[in-house]
Amino acid sequence: MSKRRKSQRPAADTAPRRDKVRDVFVPRPFDGLVDEPEWIALRELVPAASAPLRLAPALIEEFGDRPATLATVLPMAAPAITKPDGRVLIGLQRHQQSGDVSRDLAEALLSALRTEPGGQVAVPPLPGPGPRLQDILVDGPLEISMHDGFEFWLDPGAADDPTVQASLERANAAIYPTVRLTAAKAAYWCQVPEKAHVRWVLPDDEDAALDALARLGAAGLLPLGEQTRFAGMFRAHGRLVPVWDLPEETPASEWEEPVAQFAKRYAEALSSTDPLDAAGRRSRQGLLGRQLTLR
* pTM greater than 0.95 (yes/no): no
Long-range residue pairs from 206-212, CB within 8 A, at least 24 positions apart, any chain: 206/235, 206/238, 206/239, 206/240, 208/270, 209/239, 209/240, 209/270, 210/240, 210/284, 210/287, 210/288, 211/269, 211/270, 211/272, 211/276, 211/280, 211/284, 212/266, 212/269, 212/270, 212/272
Checking if the pLDDT of 24 tops 70, the result is yes
Q: What is the pLDDT confidence band of residue 112, given thresholds at 50, 70 and 90? A: very high
- Quick count: other Cβ atoms within 10 Å of Cβ 84? 10
Termini Cα distance of the chain: 48
Checking if the pLDDT of 43 tops 70, the result is yes
Sequence letter at residue 51: A
Which pLDDT value is given to residue 7? 45
> Is residue 69 a contact partner of residue 87, using CB atoms and an 8 Å limit?
yes
Which pLDDT value is given to residue 227? 93
> Is residue 47 a contact partner of residue 71, using CB atoms and an 8 Å limit?
no
Burial class of 294 by CB neighbour count within 10 A (0 to 12, 13 to 18, 19+): exposed
Give the integer Cα–Cα distance in Å for 158 and 287. Answer: 48
> Is residue 241 a contact partner of residue 202, using CB atoms and an 8 Å limit?
yes
- Lowest model confidence (mean pLDDT) among 137-141, 168-172, 250-254: 168-172
Could you state, in order of their start, the residue ranges of all structural domains in the chain? 35-173, 178-289
Indicate the SS3 state at residue 79: coil
- Lowest model confidence (mean pLDDT) among 6-10, 55-59, 198-202, 217-221: 6-10
The dihedral through the CA atoms of 196, 201, 207, 211 has a sign that is negative
Q: Where are the beta strands (DSSP E) in the chain?
A: 49-53, 68-71, 80-82, 88-91, 145-146, 178-180, 187-192, 195-200, 229-236, 239-246, 291-294
CATH class of segment(s) 178-289 = alpha beta
Number of H helices, E strands in the chain: 9, 11
Percent of the chain residues topping a pLDDT of 70: 91
Count the helix, strand and coil residues of the chain and give each as a percent rounded to the nearest 5: 40, 20, 45
Please give the mean pLDDT across all residues of the chain.
91
Question: Average pLDDT for residues 144-161, to the nearest whole number?
Answer: 85
- Lowest model confidence (mean pLDDT) among 5-14, 50-59, 146-155, 269-278: 5-14
Instruction: Tell me the DSSP string of 101-121.
Output: HHHHHHHHHHHHHHSPTTSPP
**In the sheet where 88-91 sits, what is the strand order?**
80-82, 88-91, 68-71, 49-53, 145-146
